[in-house]
Amino acid sequence: MATIDEILRVERIETDIYRGPSYPSVLRRTFGGQVAGQALVSATRTVPAEFGVHSLHGYFLRPGDPDLPTVFLVDRIRDGRSFVTRRVTGVQNGEAIFSMSASFHVGTDEGIEHQDPMPDVIGPEDIKDRRDAASEEDRRLYSEWENFDIRIVPRDQLVLSKSLAAQQRVWFRYRHRLDDSHVSQVCVLAYMSDMTLLASAKSVHDDHVQSASLDHAMWFLRPFRADEWLLYDQTSPSAGHGRALTQGRIFDRQGRMVAAVVQEGLSRIIADPTVQGIPLRDEKPDETTS
């Protein structure tokens, strides 16, 4: 599989127009994190170096074809002294498949500071590497992300809150050393943030569910490294009418909250248990819109 450097290596083809590469994939649709990550890289190429991204809001409009590159059109919405705003549209075959707004902050402002504490959880070293897992589902799906170390905390080892409807915690990191730039770290985390989050909505259900990301919002709160262990504390406060709302707080090993994520996704109950939540190429087609 391609490295994250290769996946996020977008090509400039004209002023404010970029092209994200495609790579062989076991998925039938382009992975949402790939589209969001490439869109964010494209946006950062049009922003002065002293500005760092602090938030993004994206919508997955159509399913992407993993065999095709995606062209990203960047619109320079605003250039201010403290904040810069960009809008990015991802296009395949002349149709928009993704739309994103990203805001950048100069980063020199000072203000109040607080955060929620990191939840109590076992360390990643106490969880088996899913790359070595014996299940067929793990081997097929996680082969797509073999360069990422993803370790879901076993449910029987979670400290659960009775006030939350559905909960899941995941340790993750990129397996290889990344460069030190802010752009690399945030774009890799944007890619990673789409992994496993929708699964938190299914953690308290036995139903077979067809899943797909509908939208994705993310805030970058403090510096971090995506190639070091991060805890993804995930909850799903509500699910209904074929959609599930999910939330994630991302902490580093020192307990600092470095990012926050909110995502809504498709959560249709399906009768055929052979259809996976994330459709693979050797499974029967579905009607998912993203």
Return the bridge partners of 60, or none. 98
The one-letter code for the residue type at 116 is D
The answer to whether 263 is a known catalytic residue is: yes
- Candidates 149, 194, 227, 286; catalytic one: 194
Mode of pairing for the β-strands spanning 230-240 and 243-252:
antiparallel
The answer to whether 120 is a known catalytic residue is: no
Which of 135, 167, 29 is CA-nearest to residue 92? 29
The one-letter code for the residue type at 270 is I
- Candidates 263, 267, 276, 290; catalytic one: 263
Rounded (10°) CA dihedral 221, 225, 231, 232: 60
**131 by DSSP, 3-state: which?**
helix
Which of 247, 249, 228, 224 is CA-nearest to residue 237? 247
DSSP E strand stretches across 44-132: 52-60, 70-79, 83-92, 95-105
- Candidates 25, 103, 213, 236; catalytic one: 213
In sequence order, the 6+-apart residues with CB closer than 8 A to the CB of 66 are 22, 23, 24, 25, 27, 28, 29, 30, 31
Which of 78, 85, 54, 101 is CA-nearest to residue 216? 101
As a whole number of Å, the CA-based R_g of the chain is 18
Whole-number Å distance between alpha carbons of 38 and 60 = 13
DSSP code per residue over 263-274: EEEEEEE-S-TT
15: which 2 tokens? Answer: 């002023």
Which of 106, 116, 20, 111 is CA-nearest to residue 70? 20
The answer to whether 129 is a known catalytic residue is: no
In sequence order, the 6+-apart residues with CB closer than 8 A to the CB of 240 are none
Active site residues: 194, 213, 263
